[in-house]
Amino acid sequence: MKIDILTLFPEMFTGVLNSSILKKAQDKGAVEYRVTDFRDFAENKHRKVDDYPYGGGAGMVLTPQPLFDAVEALKGDTKHERRRVILMCPQGERLTQRKLEELSEEDHLIFLCGHYEGYDERIREHLVTDEISIGDYVLTGGELASMVVIDGVTRLLPEVLGNEESAKQDSHSSGLLEHPHYTRPADFRGMKVPDVLLSGDHAKIEKWRQRQSLKRTYERRPDLIEFENLSTEEQRFLKSSKEDEE
C-alpha cells in the first residue's frame, strides 16, 4: 500500500512514521509512506495556500489550487489503482474499526491535512472521496487525526503484526469489546487469574472469553449490542449477569 500525506507541517510525521509498528510495516515492504508539503504546489511567489473567505468571517480558508495540483501529481499515471483521497475534518464520518478495515483493502491512500478555518468547498465536492472525523471535537489541524487513521490501517495490512489473529481479536473488530487479558504471575498480591484460564481446556477458555467480551460490551458500550440478534444463550447470560449485580 502507498500512503501519501499532504500537510503544511511534514516534520510532525517524522517520529510517528519511523517508530514501532509503522516503521516495521515499511521495513517489511507492506507500506510506503510519503509526506509532502503542499505549499510546494502553490503557484504564487510567496507560496501562499490560504485566503480570506468570500462573504467575510473569521479565519482563513485553504485555496483549492495547491491541493488539486498536489493530488493530481501524486496520482500520476496509475489510473487503475484502488485509491481514496481522505479529508480529515470534524464534519466527516465518524471513524470506526469497520472503516479502517475498508481502507486497508485499498492500494493508495492520500490524506489531506489542513489548518486554518477550513477548506474551499470545491475541495470537498470535487477532490476527496472520504471525509473522516476521529471524534466530536476540533484539533489545530488534520495531522494528528491522520496519524490515528494511518496507524489503524497499517496494523491491518498482511504480515504487519507478528500474529495476524491479534487484529481479528481487537476490540470492535468483532463488533464487541475485547475480553480481559492476564499473564504471569497467576497470583499477584492476592489478585488471582480466573481458574478457567489455567485449566488448559481451550473450549472452556474460548467460551469464557466470548462471554466476557459480551459482558464488557453490555456494561461499557451497550449501544454496540443489538439484543435481538443475540442467541438465546447469550441473552440468558446477560440477563443472569445483570441479576447477579442487583
Question: Residue 138, Cβ neighbours under 10 Å: how many?
Answer: 8
Cell numbers placing 30: 507492506
In the chain, what are the domain boundaries?
Answer: 2-154, 174-245
Question: What's the pTM?
Answer: 0.86
CATH number for 2-154: choose from 3.40.1280.10, 2.60.120.10, 3.40.190.10, 3.30.365.10.
Answer: 3.40.1280.10
Supply the DSSP symbol for 80.
T
The pLDDT tens digits of the residues spanning 127-156 come to: 999 999 999 999 999 999 999 999 999 999
What HEC string does 147-167 produce?
HHHHHHHHCCCCCCCCCCHHH
Question: E-assigned strands of 8-138?
Answer: 32-37, 50-51, 61-62, 83-94, 108-112, 118-119, 130-133
Q: CATH classification of 174-245, choosing from 1.10.1270.20, 1.10.150.300, 3.40.50.2000, 2.40.110.10?
A: 1.10.1270.20
Rg (Cα) of the chain, in Å, rounded? 23
28-84 pLDDT, tens digit each: 999 999 999 999 999 998 999 999 999 988 889 999 999 999 999 998 866 667 899
The set of cell numbers assigned to 127 is 477532490
| Residues classed as catalytic | 90, 117, 155, 170
User: Residue 105 pLDDT more than 90?
Assistant: yes
